[in-house]
């Protein structure tokens, strides 16, 4: 248990000519919550797939829960739990039967007591005999976490755990994730494209863009590394870059679609000067980003996380399709 839960060295995964994961190094200490933050299509799910042994690595090495994922995939799979982005359960079966199936797959013998404890922990015991298709999204998610915990894993992988959930359910899930981590002492590896989620839950965050880790550290460390603020301006006025650059305090100028992104020393000092330079009544939108995980991402990639969506995966749409197909 004192070994790192996940150690990945130079892991790379190609899908034909596309490099989904590009020489990623990771070290996740045991007992913490690690968050992989990045836009859709950045390679987060692929990293989970190669670390869990579901996809083969193109190159590189990874050890999860003390075992090499290539040489001992079955030992790894006995020691990990998995929570899918789109909630994968057998809808034709009850909650208890889903636990029973999971116990069979994990070859557990005396699992019933533990299953009952988990159902109680997640307040699902009243509904354990109902078909999962009658469960609400929040209940399905909780049952899926219970499945992941059943065989007492050392590491749980959660792929976009709160995608498509309403704010109330998301908050409940955050509490459960931190609770599971604290009370069960299980390392959690989660992916997210929600900045506030990574900030609220994770002790350690890796920021990923186009298959590469662009920043790694505690949320506080990462934020401290960002020197200065970001100002985003959308205006009807035609302006040239030189005019913005000449404003004192502006360090960098980029254009992202129709939005000017300025990196500045301190927003509160630069803003009045900007208003003097530009025509304030032609400004349509202005946004100030103080040091945050978002500004770390902006500094490294020049984009906001929600604008960087490569369109490879739209989970919400996918999730809706899955639900529709099940009916």
Partner 1 sequence: MSNETESVRLFPPKDGLPAVPRVIHRVPQGSQFVGLYSRELLRTFRNPWVLVITIVQPFMWLAFFGSSFANVPLADLEALLHIHIQSYLQFLLPGVLSTSMLTVGMFGAMSTIQDKRFGYMKRILLTPTSKTTVYLSKALGSATRGLVQIPVMVVAALAFGVHINGDPLMWAGWTFSLVFLALGFSFLFLAVTASSTDWQTPGVISNFLMMPLMFASGALFPAANFPTWMATIANWNPVTYAALFGRGVVVNGTANWLYLGYVAIFAGLMALAGTLVARRYLKVE
- Cβ distance 211 to 273 under 8 Å? no
Kindly indicate which of the ranges 180-188, 232-240, 257-265, 275-283 contains the residues binding partner 1, using the contact rule CB under 8 A. 180-188
Given candidates 44, 140, 141, 151, which one binds partner 1 under the rule CB under 8 A?
151
Should residue 227 be labelled a site residue for partner 1 when binding is judged by CB under 8 A?
A: no
Q: How far is residue 319's CA from residue 301's CA, in Å, rounded to a whole number?
A: 28
What does the block give as tokens for 245?
Answer: 């650059």
The least CB distance from residue 172 to partner 1, in Å, is 9
113 burial class (0-12, 13-18, 19+ CB within 10 angstroms)?
exposed
Q: From the list 129, 166, 175, 314, which residue makes contact with partner 1 (rule: CB under 8 A)? A: 175
Subset of 78-117 contacting partner 1 (CB under 8 A): 78, 80, 82, 84, 86, 88-90, 92-93, 97, 100-110, 117
Q: Would you tell me the crossing angle of helices 95-105 and 112-121 to the nearest 10 degrees?
A: 130
DSSP letter at 246 equals T
Residue 160 C-alpha from the chain's centroid: 5
Backbone Cα Rg of the chain:
22
- Is there binding between residue 222 and partner 1 (CB under 8 A)? no
Tokens of 260: 């000017």
Query: Residue 212 has which token pair?
Result: 């590469």
Nearer residue to partner 1 within complex by CB, 79 or 193? 79
Q: Which is nearer to partner 1, 170 or 263 (CB)?
A: 170
Least gap, CB of 293 to partner 1 (angstroms): 24
Applying CB under 8 A, the residues found at the interface with partner 1 are 1, 30-31, 52-55, 74-75, 77-78, 80, 82, 84, 86, 88-90, 92-93, 97, 100-110, 117, 120-121, 123, 147, 151-152, 154, 175-176, 178-179, 182-185, 322, 325-326
């Amino acid at each position: 248990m004192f070994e790192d839960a996940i150690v990945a060295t130079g892991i790379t995964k190609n899908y034909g000519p596309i490099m989904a994961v590009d020489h990623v190094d990771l070290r996740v200490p045991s007992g913490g919550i690690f968050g992989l933050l990045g836009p859709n299509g950045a390679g987060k799910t692929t990293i989970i797939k190669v670390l869990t042994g579901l996809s083969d690595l193109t190159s590189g090495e990874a050890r999860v829960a003390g075992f090499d994922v290539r040489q001992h995939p079955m030992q790894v799979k006995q020691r990990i739990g998995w929570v899918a982005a789109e909630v994968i359960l057998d809808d034709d079966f009850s909650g208890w039967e889903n636990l029973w199936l999971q116990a069979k797959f994990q070859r557990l013998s005396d699992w019933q007591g533990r299953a009952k404890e988990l159902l109680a922990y997640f307040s699902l015991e009243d509904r354990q005999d109902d078909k999962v298709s009658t469960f609400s999204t929040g209940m399905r998610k909780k049952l899926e976490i219970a499945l992941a915990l059943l065989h007492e894993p050392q590491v749980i992988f959660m792929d976009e755990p709160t995608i498509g959930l309403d704010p109330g359910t998301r908050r409940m899930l955050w509490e459960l994730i931190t609770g599971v981590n604290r009370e069960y002492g299980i390392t959690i590896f989660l992916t997210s494209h929600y900045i506030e989620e990574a900030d609220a839950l994770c002790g350690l965050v890796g920021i990923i863009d186009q298959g590469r880790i662009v920043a790694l550290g505690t949320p506080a460390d990462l934020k401290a590394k960002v020197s200065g603020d970001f100002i985003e301006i959308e205006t009807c006025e035609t302006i040239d870059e030189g005019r913005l650059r000449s404003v004192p305090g502006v360090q960098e100028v980029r254009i992202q679609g129709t939005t000017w992104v300025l990196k500045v020393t301190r927003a509160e000092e630069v803003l009045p000067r900007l208003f003097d330079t530009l025509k304030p009544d032609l400004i349509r939108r202005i946004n100030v980003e103080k040091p945050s995980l978002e500004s770390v991402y902006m500094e490294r990639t020049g984009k906001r996380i929600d604008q960087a969506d490569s369109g490879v995966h739209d989970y919400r749409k996918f999730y809706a399709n899955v639900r529709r197909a099940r009916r």
